[in-house]
Structure 1
Amino acid sequence: MHNNSKINNLILDFGGVIYQISHKKQMECFKGFGVKNFEYLYSQAIQNPLFGELEIGSVSNDDFMAELKKMLPGNISADKIGHAWNSILVGFSDNAVSLLKKLKKKYNLFLLSNTNAIHYNIYMPEFNQKYGYNFEELFAKAYWSFKIGLRKPGHEIFNYVLDDVGLIAGNCLFIDDSIQNTVAADECGIKSIWLKPGLGLTDLFDDNLDLI
């Protein structure tokens, strides 16, 4: 049971919380190109600097793809590389979207996501086509790492959100599927919940939309 008497702001991660992703599927695609160390190059815990640069928007999509091509053996086409890069994207969780529509009536909702423009340009139109409205309408404000030049788990991104909206850390709850990000939020004074593997956003709230 969580003490949520002061919680009126929810800060939510995107991938793995609202949108389903598959690192395994992406890794299998790149292994198919002969990349034996892709787990090291790109994982939730250890990232090649190139991927981090893409997530804070400091490298263009074209330059990123060109650098990624250099990492791969042989002469793989840009289309195949793009398909492999985007294979991590599975789709929106209908249950999570339905819950968000209810939660926004009780809490101020904010999105805080490490992502890149390549993926963003896929799942934003996907949401609009599937649900008939813009994804960001679910939130008071959405923060995408590649747009603000900051990424989790850096303390700077959490403080940026708090300062930008004028939120009190103690009145916020952060939900993320990566434990290093929830630890960082805790260190910034923001209560957090690590959404462990096998759990969904709907598992955290009761019928009254209170935290379980």
Structure 2
Amino acid sequence: MTLTSLMNIIFDLGDVIIPIDLRAPLRNFAMLANQSEEAMEALWKKHGIWQQYETGLIDDENFRQAVRELVRHETDAPDKWADELIDTAWNTVLLDLPVERIDRIQALQGQHHGRPHRLFLLSNTNAIHIREVNRRLVSLGKPTLEELFERVFYSHEVKLMKPNPGIYQHVLSEANLVAEETVFLDDNRANIDAAAALGIRAVHVVAPKTIIDYLAELGA
């Protein structure tokens, strides 16, 4: 099946559009707190701050305060854990943005066999990361994520995370999509399996291939 019949395309963000290093924030917070990376990882897993933030249970301010309480030593200077420092360490998860991927998505906004593609973004993410991605896009003269796609669906706004089937059902319902006419590109096997179970054509993005390669295989 090609994109002749699959006219709706849903993209993941991390490691699909922009490469990420999930351990980078742990390394940076550990360094700032003078702790081992293993100890920092144990703290994050115990308190579940990442998941709380990315499901919208806590907002930016509460996330930063939770980080301070989790990793700040009592002898730290008051300004050591300023908002900007936390945001910078947190955003190290985001690696260099490949402009050619943005250009490829923009090209899909045109016609394909006489019909326009409908493009969507579905990401487990949070407001700090989205602001940083959009800042980088604008600095490169590219549209923001909200301008690049017809609709964006962020876990912290939907208050559900992939691979929960509810988040896919939400996207299908909100965008009025037919699952069998929709392709979803994601780098996580569990996310792919969950989408496929609902009838969505799910494509597992695995390096060294990129979305440019997979879109070509689909005939886009």
Normalising by structure 2, we get a TM-score of 0.82
Of all paired residues, the percent bearing the same amino acid is 26
Distance 1:125 1:96 in 2: 17
1:190 is aligned to: 200
Aligned pair 1:53/2:52, yes or no? yes
1:158 is aligned to: 168
Which residue identity does 2:6 align to in structure 1? I
How many equivalent pairs are there?
205
Distance 2:46 2:14 in 1: 16
1:204 is aligned to: 214
Structure 2 unaligned runs (5+)?
A: none
Distance 1:188 1:31 in 2: 40
Aligned pair 1:77/2:81, yes or no? yes
1:68 is aligned to: 67
Aligned CA distance change for structure 1 residues 50 and 25 (closer, same or farther; 3 Å): closer
Residue from 186, 190, 198 that aligns with 1:176: 186
1:1-212 correspondence runs (5 A): 3-4=1-2, 5-32=4-31, 33=33, 34-35=35-36, 36-39=38-41, 49-72=48-71, 74=73, 75=76, 77-78=81-82, 79-105=84-110, 106=112, 107-206=117-216, 210=219
Instruction: Determine which structure has more spread, i.e. the larger CA radius of gyration.
Output: 2
Distance 1:97 1:26 in 2: 25
The 3-state SS of whatever aligns with 1:62 is helix
Normalising by structure 1, we get a TM-score of 0.85
The Cα RMSD (Å) is 2.3
Aligned CA distance change for structure 1 residues 160 and 117 (closer, same or farther; 3 Å): same
**TM-aligned CA deviation for residue 24 of structure 1:** 3.8
Aligned CA distance change for structure 1 residues 151 and 102 (closer, same or farther; 3 Å): same
